[in-house]
Structure 1
Amino acid sequence: QWNLVCANDWKGPLSTSLFFVGVLLGSFISGQLSDKFGRKNVLFATLAMQTGFSFIQVFSTSWEMFSVLFVLVGMGQISNYVAAFVLAGTEILGKSVRVLFCTLGVCIFYAFGYMLLPLFAFFIRDWRMLLLALTLPGLLCIPLWWVIPESPRWLISQGRFQEAEDIIRKAAKTNGITAPDVIFDPSELQDVNSQKQQTYTILDLMRTRNILTITIMSVLLWMIISVGYFGLSLDTPNLHGDVYVNCFLSAVIEVPAYIISWLLLRNLPRRYSMAAALFLGGCVLLFIQLVPSHLRALSILLVMLGKFGITSAFSMVYVYTAELYPTVVRNMGVGASSMASRLGSILSPYFVYLGAYDRFLPYILMGSLTVLSGILTLFLPESYGMPLPDTIDQMLRVKGLEYRPPSSSTRDSKEEEENPEIFKSTAF
């Protein structure tokens, strides 16, 4: 349709890149909007944006119209993903449940949806009907507005203590826990209220040498992982065999990857777990060029094993990054890192395209970059078993950097999520 062949065949991969351009733009603005207007408001506004523009996209009359709408769909998709991840994944759930939600809770269902995609595509060959079938489930999210609360941490950071206390007391009642008479100490509230008068922007991700170093390393890490993940996902049509089966296998391999990442995050240090997954994925991709051409099944196996390693790292990097940034800029930090990963996803179709010149070149490039990102991970601070920081001064330190003594107004890091007793015993 729309004559996307011969001289116009470049429009096909460009459409994919334009979607990721929208994801890039959404990553840039979603963090700032969420930190300013609240996690819940941005979550549901961008859910409506994604569902609405996807529905309009079904009635596209030209490639240009389809592509413009695809950009807007991408903006909404990543915005609600990041907002939901920060809301539930780091700021509502307790420490043990947080890892479970961010890995198995989110990613396993993502993999199930991924597996359903080739199944839907096999039986629904018309792209308009397929897009409609994939869009309508978004309406099921509407009732969740009355179920999902705003982040108490965000409310506290805005000085809205009573609203935060109401949410915590409601959670305690739901879980059969008796809330203490005083959840927030008045003297602490006065101290927090004086601190929270300051507004934060994307520039605060570069305020100190420590947060700037973490931001730069996170940006590079996310970008490289994204190139590997989306490059391998988009490369499945170029593998030998049935395209639907290969797509299904690419989705199936993500299930054990997410389970392994959950076990690693729960029991082992973050940076060593991520580095191991990245080394596995990168080295396997580099080995593909050594496989004889007649062993096609082995080549597919190695590609799937590489996808396994990179997918595990992709699952862990969300949790790791969110734990490194403080509450006041956490959504911006995750959003900026996600924005960097979208630069990688925009480039990934062109990594795949290099296979037209040398079929091993995409694997060599993706494998090399993945190994380098594994080395980079080892220089990040370790967040395993540490309390979530609330302020920039409470952030974990990158080893090897010189620091000025913290100011006297800096709150002790122990006044963290365990400090209000109710946060320890209450989970939504």
Structure 2
Amino acid sequence: MDYDEVTSFLGEWGPFQKAMFLLLSLSTVPNGYAGMAMVFLADTPEHRCQLPYLNASWQQHSLTLNQSLPLEERGAGGQWALSRCQRYRRANGTGTGFSNSTEGCLDGWDFDREQYESTIATEWSLVCGDSWKVPFSLSVFFMGVLSGSFVSGQISDRFGRKVTLFVTMAVQTVFSLVQVFSVSWVMFCFFFYLVGLGQISNYVAAFVLGSELLGKSSRVTFSTLGVCVFYALGYAVLPLCAYFIRSWRVLLAVLSLPGLLYIPLWWLIPESPRWLLAQGRVEEAEAIVRAAARKNGVTAPAVIFKQYEQQGINDHSVDARYTYMDLVRTSKMRNITFLHAAVWFIITISYFGLSLSTPNMNGDPYLNCFLSALVEIVAYVAAWLLLKVVPRRVVITVPMLSGGLVLCLIHFVPQDYSVLSVVLAMAAKFGITASLSVLYIAAAETFPTVVRGMGIGICSMASKTGSTIAPFFPFLGVYDKTLPYIVMGLMTLVAGLLSILLPETRGMPLPQQVSEVQTLNWFCTKCKPAEEKKFPEEDGRL
């Protein structure tokens, strides 16, 4: 029987649904700034070699600095500026005269302190030969996210959505606080990896739990105006905090402490009845639904899930233990898994590549970061409105293709029109963000309940593999600011074309078993019967 039909007596938007909507959405706020905080924690200000023998300060007249620092060409425009990583050797090793030969910054670096009091780049001199450590730090974080996505998906389907949600929230909060006391870059990266274990895993667990707790009509609203908008609100808080807090340690502490406020939610958020039913725990599922009915002021039937209990006894599905192999065991399930993974991998590179590029954009980095978050909020609202009238696949494909095309156009914008480049980048961010939010909905509505946590976990793993690569895209902007946009644009176009194959899930009930999974939207409709005939085992679980 249809779970939504059985629990229809609860109503669609009562006090219980409103409370779950708000509480689960609030749990995603820290996710908005946890990963993106590296935009400010690891930003590299202007720097140059220390010149102790000249007692040179950062504001010293450029004529004096020209005697001790060579010029270097920066960017594709051929602009010349004082070298960041080289200095002239002193003549005969002493005195104030200089030879024409150069040397590295043997005495360290002087950093411009006008914008930042400290970042990890200034504290541990992650510049010049060690500049690769800045994007690698964020890649380490996303490696943790990747590992967490793999583990949390199976934990979610084996031990429950609620347990996964709060364990990953605790991991993120505790290790973020410990990370504040890092005494070296290696220690910082180690704890950043542990923070990553819980970061997006928490978001995915909240998303899956909300999708299964809420009714059909409010599920789309939760997936866009709920977790996505609250994630973007957390992202918008980041530049506001960073503007007033210029020390990376204090900023990280301020961003980590709010995680302790989520402890009371353990007693307010229940387990997913859908998951409990899939595990054969009918009495626990009924208890949660009856508690929801009391909160909504409605009377529950004497027996709610008797049909589920009888069905479980007949087919023994409750005794089945599902693993990641069930995501590729049948052809339909395999096609869905690989297609979602490919699209998520590509689109996440563009999403994080644009988000992390805000310091490289022209203008104030705090304002650019805030505008990027504001664009996300508008994109989520637009996606919510569009989903009311158009199919899921349209809202995924069209904005994705448009965003990829806009990114490719940035290359043709003259340097004098830098504001236009920022506008185009934000327009591309709008389309990519809207598509990404609907991808979450499509995944939740495509993967069946018995493997939904693992299915979205695989999607998250694919996306975090992409996000592990993404930090190096803005790093390329140091040499040519348009190159990252061209590469991300072409990749986004490929993802948009692949998304056309996704099955349409609008108006469809959430599948419970693997046998209920849809086929891909093949261009050749004649392929469908042949495929089903070739794999008859797809009609039921192996």
Q: Does the alignment reach a TM-score above 0.5?
A: yes
Q: How does 1:167-206 map to 2 (within 5 A)?
A: 167-186=288-307, 188-193=308-313, 194-206=316-328
Q: Secondary structure at the match of 1:149?
A: coil
Distance 1:181 1:372 in 2: 53
User: 1 or 2, which has the higher helix percentage?
Assistant: 1
Correspondence for 1:403:
532
Higher relative strand content: 2
Amino acid at match of 1:86: V
Answer yes or no: is the 8 Å Cα contact 1:229–1:307 preserved in 2: yes
Q: 2:264 aligns with which of 139, 143, 146?
A: 143
Q: Tell me what 1:414 maps to.
A: none
Percentage of identical aligned residues: 55
TM-score under structure 1 length normalisation: 0.93
Give me the whole-angstrom Cα distance separating, in 2, the residues matched to 1:242 and 1:227. 24
Q: Secondary structure at the match of 2:456?
A: helix
Give the superposition deviation at 1:410.
5.0
**More deviation, 261-270/370-379:** 261-270
Aligned mates of 1:121, 1:101 — CA distance in 2: 29
The alpha-carbon deviation at position 355 of structure 1 amounts to 2.5
Unaligned runs of 5+ in 1: 412-428
Answer whether contact 2:407 2:424 (CA < 8 A) is retained: yes
Q: Equivalent of 1:70, from 179, 192, 198?
A: 192
1:345 counterpart letter in structure 2:
S
| Structure 1 CA distance for aligned equivalents of residues 385 and 346 of structure 2 | 23
Q: Which residue of 2 aligns with 1:106?
A: 227
Does the 8 A contact of 1:31 with 1:333 survive in 2?
yes
Structure 1: distance between partners of 2:414 and 2:538: 64
Q: Measured at CA, do residues 62 and 269 of structure 1 come closer, stay the same or move farther in structure 2, by a change above 3 Å? A: same
Shift of 1:298: 0.8
Q: Structure 2 unaligned runs (5+)?
A: 1-122
Q: Secondary structure at the match of 2:213?
A: coil
Q: What SS does the corresponding residue of 1:253 show, helix, strand or coil?
A: helix
Matches within 5 A, 1:261-300: 261-300=383-422
2-side partners of 1:228 and 1:409: how far apart? Answer: 37
Partners of 2:387 and 2:329 lie apart in 1 by 29
Question: In the alignment, does 2:164 pair up with 1:42?
Answer: yes
1:353 is displaced (CA, Å) by 2.4
Matched to 1:222, the amino acid is W
Is the CA contact (8 Å cut-off) linking 2:353 and 2:474 kept in structure 1? Answer: yes
2:305 is paired with a residue whose SS is coil
> Does the CA contact (< 8 Å) of 2:229 and 2:380 recur in 1?
yes
CA RMSD of aligned residues (A): 1.5
Q: Is residue 54 from structure 1 mapped to residue 195 from structure 2 by the alignment?
A: no
Q: Find the structure with the greater CA-based Rg.
A: 2
> Which one of the candidate residues 360, 373, 393 is aligned to 2:515?
393
Q: Deviations over 1:373-393 (max 9, x none)?
A: 111111111101111100010
Count of residues paired in the alignment: 409
Whether contact under 8 Å (1:53, 1:73) holds in the other structure is yes
Q: Is the 8 A contact 2:179 2:192 kept in 1?
A: yes
8 Å CA contact 1:47, 1:77 repeated in 2: yes
Letter of the aligned partner of 2:233 in structure 1? F
1:182-210 deviation digits (Å, cap 9, x = unpaired):
21235x41322411211000111001111
- Superposed CA deviations along residues 204-257 of structure 1, whole A, max 9, x for unmatched, are 100111111111110110011100100001111111111111111111111110
1:19 to 125, 141, 147: 141
Distance 1:409 1:18, change over 3 A: closer
| TM-score, structure 2 as length reference | 0.74
- Which residue, out of 197, 217, 222, partners 1:96? 217
CA deviation after TM superposition for structure 1 residue 406, in Å = 5.9
Q: Decide whether the 8 Å contact of 1:30 with 1:82 is kept in 2.
A: no
